[in-house]
A and B are shown apart, each in its own frame.
Chain A
Amino acid sequence: MHPVRRTLFALAAVVGCVEPRLAPNTVASEPAEQRIVVAPAAPNAAAPTTTQSGIGAPMHVSWVVDRFDDHHASLRARVERVPTLSLPLVLTVTVPAGATLAAGNTPVTLPPPSPQGPTEYAYELTYAAPPQQDLLVAVDGASEQMGVHGRAWFRFGRPEPVAPNALPTGPNMIINGRNFGAAVPATQ
């Protein structure tokens, strides 16, 4: 920041010319904030360089494929939990049309987590041809205070669906020497 900008910046801070704005739109609107006079601010200082991460998910659900061909799939639903997550959980497998569950139970109430490692349940599917829809395993649990909802899909050899990726393929936005890179065309 050049000196002029710094000076103007400080002036803006002193006069307190910040205009309160509204919350982003949400599904349910939020109440307007009441403006309240506050104590004088501390200097803008003493900020460490810690990389602070958000809290991690307490569970991860996945499929482990042991064997898979045009008529048969042998796989395990794998549930990894932090050992402290003793929330009662129910595992449900949804078999797609055209496939038959030859082995394995659903739904299953999971036992408490084991410190030794993940919980796995084995499943066998048979089919005349690979189903067009995916095999879904869902693990759900909720109390009044928290909830978890894990999902994983086995896609019978199909690739993971690729979500639309907004690619910045527009012209490079160089403005008076500053290069902000390319923009995303609205046609995408």
Chain B
Amino acid sequence: MSGVCTAGCPAPRQNCAGVCTAIDSDSANCGACGRGCAAGQTCQSGSCMSVGGPDAGTVDAGRVDSGSAPIDTGPVFVDSGSAPIDTGPVFVDSGSAPIDTGPVLVDSGSALTDIGRVDSGSALTDTGRVDSGVASGCSAIPLGSALSPTVFGGSTAGRLSSHTPPATCTDMPAAVSPDVVYAWTAPSSGTFTFDTIGSGFDTVLTVRSGSCTGTALGCSDDIVNATTTTSRLTLALSAGQAIAIIIEGYGTNSGSYLLNITRGAVDGGTPADAGAPDPCAGVTTDGRCASSTIIEYCSVDTGGELPPSLQRFTCSPGERCAIDSGGAATCVASGTCIPGDSRCVGTSLQNCVSGTWSTTACPAQCVDSTVASFCAPAVPTTTTSGQLLYQARGPNSPSRPTDWSATTFTATAQAFTIVSVRQNADGTLSYFDAVTTTSGNSTGGRFTLRVPTTTTASDFLVAFAMASDGLGGIRYVVANPGFAAPGTQPPDTRGANPNAWAWLFQLNTFVNGGTLTITESMGSGAARIFDYLRFTYDYVTTYLPGSGRRLVAWMQLGTSWTCGACFSARPVSLFGSATSSGQLFESQAWFNGSTADQEYWSDSVTAHEFGHWVMSSYGTSPGEAGRHTIGGRVYPGMAWSEGWATYFSSDARRNPVYSDKQGGTFFWIDIAARSYRYPAWVRPVASAGLEQTIDENEVAAMLWSVRASSVSAPSQLLSALASPQMQGPSFNRGYRAWSWTSIDAFGTPVGAMRTSRPAPYLADFLDALVCSGFGTAAVNAATQPSVYYPYPSASPLCF
């Protein structure tokens, strides 16, 4: 509305060149006089809204605007006869806080009558849908590209029979049963599942191209033959592909029906997907020896959105390829020792040269240490003691955090390696001693080591974020990839000068008994990652014998990774030189060093990635991975892998709240709540079987629920992960891994194909747990098998 402005031109109207203008909605004067919206934009609440905003600029056949901020509630269908018509978006404003009422179906004719949603006051209520029609013929009810949780339903009773299902679909194709036809268009390329779960009769579901007379794309009679008589089928469709969905009865059956349309494969895929060529041509992720010095393994790097591929790793000189006791290809010494290794024998230093030990007498002491064995110089020494600390931050609230805390706290630096060193006049370094700092939250971080009696400005204490394996090697280390400039890098890449994170403190200013503090400006984020690796490693190895894969965790301030934070069991040799081959690490993890996000303060993330390490080291990773989002439903293998990692993170931290910060957004999820509330936490459906696509956090929540059942449950869960049943190469439930090229906006994998590679998933793990004697009551309480995840705890498949 416009008009001549008077002195009373009320807000939000404004006098624009003498015209009282609604600047909250006028596209030519949006928010201010003269401020026009660009093409494709409309004015909403004084702001120009682009396509994709609340109003995409479409014609609104049913706009209702009783307030200042109308909202598009989605398509509305009006049936003026036998064929409902989409009248376009409807805007409903129930007051100051408009609510999306979702699709509304209206049928005033002979077919569907959807009375839609009704605004009963302050809260809009979906009153459901009622089918009062008698016949639809082959005319289709348009659904646009709607997806569940919107459910479409009605009754086929009294309708005409206009469709005959394919003879391959049902043993009674010639029987006449009433049917209903829906027209639907794929909103994006990907896999979609159509089912009639919840229907009140024995259904037959057919999908055809274009219309109900088009080519049959698939059909389904019973989900489980003669047992579950509703129907379900999964199809790969292209964006914009139009299909007809026909629901009818088996034989002459009719009755009330429901149609659900979801993204992804609920049933693990159609038969056509199974057995797709394995891109690794039979080589497993455990690898094999392609030659005496080359490991060949299958890399499933979907974290970087790369397809599975065959990779090679060359053992260092002096090493050869061998299969370890667990069946994995690895590098072992080909001679007596690995070139570059060193050890002390009394006061003599032995270095491995060409596969044999070469002995050198030290001028004073020989020191075994995490970093290497070395001869200390013949210089008078004394001992000095101190405590190593580091600064850190955590979430700014234990329950509803919005960012990292504004202030730092100080933590003890436990299990760090401390070395005393002197820089000589010629630039070379002499090492006097090396020790590991003590454990304990208040008493930890302490060290006592030999230092020169007379100190100068060239004497230092160096703290390494590096843990000893107790055998002269490194168990895990936090390393800086050494890129020259800030930026985003793919995982498993490094700059010219990678280095172990280490901090240099001048010794001549250190007071015996004092403290050394790694400050935030010195990169204490790396220290926090190391401390949490230390904590989770010790937690796991308290319960599980063995030490798992050696791990290098990469973090550089200013460097982020294309995968976000991620883990891989890719081998890498590090810290070599012209005279040393360095050390082999069998796994790597990458942590975001963005100084804006400071993700290194997220213990949730560090422990999550270490959860992947636990599965990789003690169990079997299913080899399904990639980007994933909150609320996305993914294939069972990935849901198991990520769900386990999130569960482990919460288990180790004893906290069900997972928090993280990425791209300037801080977010948190409480897995114990088993609901996002917004968006809906989509629970599994019992009738969809064990191999249904599932929200990874549903898996985490189930495990968290099991954990709460007894004090010993956490260790029993860890033991089940490490049980023989979870080792492969095959798994009792017979699941085969999927791979895919990317995910769509909803988190649904696209470009998926099923491989022939055996993989474990949640049901295998629950088998292992129950088979170990774990109580089924706790398992059932977590899975709720009759309604949600139908794990049959009474009949586990035991090894």
Contacts and interface: CB of A to CB of B under 8 A. Distances in A.
A163 B542 CA distance: 38
Contact of A47 (B56, B549, B632): B549
Contact of B631 (A5, A41, A84, A178): A84
Interface stretch (B77-85, B170-178, B465-473): B465-473
Interface in A1-59: 1-6, 8-9, 12-14, 16, 18-31, 33-59
Contacts of A44: 324-326, 546-549, 617-618
Contacts of B628: 53, 55-56
Contact of B373 (A9, A176, A179): A176
A49 B608 contact: no
Contact of A124 (B31, B287, B398, B403): B31
B703 to A, nearest CB: 16
B620 A180 contact: no
Nearest to B396: A27
A179 to B, nearest CB: 4
A1 B349 contact: no
A86 B100 CA distance: 10
Interface in B294-324: 297-304, 311, 324
A16 B543 CA distance: 9
Nearest to B56: A116
B662 interface: yes
Nearest to A153: B664
Contact of A24 (B535, B609, B667, B723): B535
Nearest to A36: B715
Given A25-B412, A51-B567, A183-B504, A105 B47 contact: yes
A86 B678 contact: yes
A48 B285 contact: yes
A53 B48 contact: no
B663 to A, nearest CB: 5
Interface string B668-679: 111001011111
Contacts of A179: 575-577, 580
A96 interface: no
Contacts of B547: 9, 12-13, 44
B46 interface: yes
Contacts of A166: 521-523, 526, 557
B201 interface: no
B502 A103 contact: no
B499 interface: yes
B584 interface: yes
Interface string B238-260: 00000000000000000000000
B290 to A, nearest CB: 15
Given A149-B402, A184-B503, A45 B286 contact: yes
Contact of B303 (A53, A120, A147): A53
B667 A59 contact: yes
A143 B677 contact: yes
Q: Which of A27, A48, A163 has the most CB of B within 10 A?
A: A48
Given A43-B325, A108-B47, A53 B473 contact: no
Nearest to A103: B31
Contacts of A162: 595
Given A43-B325, A104-B31, A52 B677 contact: no
A142 interface: yes
B684 interface: no
A48 B623 contact: yes
Contacts of B668: 146-147
A104 B24 CA distance: 9
Contacts of B522: 166, 184, 186, 188
Interface in A143-162: 143-152, 160, 162
A179 B625 CA distance: 34
A165 B483 CA distance: 12
Nearest to B325: A43
Contact of B745 (A34, A82, A178): A82
A57 B663 contact: yes
Interface size class of A (residues with CB under 8 A): 35 or more
Interface residues of B, number: 221
Nearest to A26: B394
Main secondary structure, interface of B, reads loop
Contact of A143 (B405, B642, B653, B676): B676
A41 B618 contact: yes
Interface string B325-355: 1111000110011101111000001011000
Interface in B511-567: 516, 520-523, 526, 528, 531-532, 534-535, 538-539, 541-549, 557-558, 563-567
A165 B567 CA distance: 24
Contacts of B538: 18-21
Contacts of B675: 145
A123 interface: yes
Interface in A56-93: 56-62, 76, 82-88
B566 A52 contact: yes
A102 B32 CA distance: 7
A41 B409 contact: no
A127 interface: no
A86 to B, nearest CB: 5
Contacts of B24: 105
A114 B53 contact: yes
A123 B589 CA distance: 42
B616 A103 contact: no
B570 to A, nearest CB: 5
B638 to A, nearest CB: 9
Interface string A172-188: 01111111111111111
A84 to B, nearest CB: 4
Contact of B405 (A27, A152, A174, A183): A27
B772 A39 contact: yes
B107 interface: no
A73 to B, nearest CB: 13
A98 interface: no
A36 B711 contact: yes
A61 B664 CA distance: 7
6 contacts: A24-B411, A48-B616, A56-B662, A121-B45, A145-B677, A180-B499
Given A50-B300, A53-B566, A187-B506, 7 more contacts: A27-B395, A103-B23, A105-B46, A111-B53, A147-B401, A151-B665, A184-B501
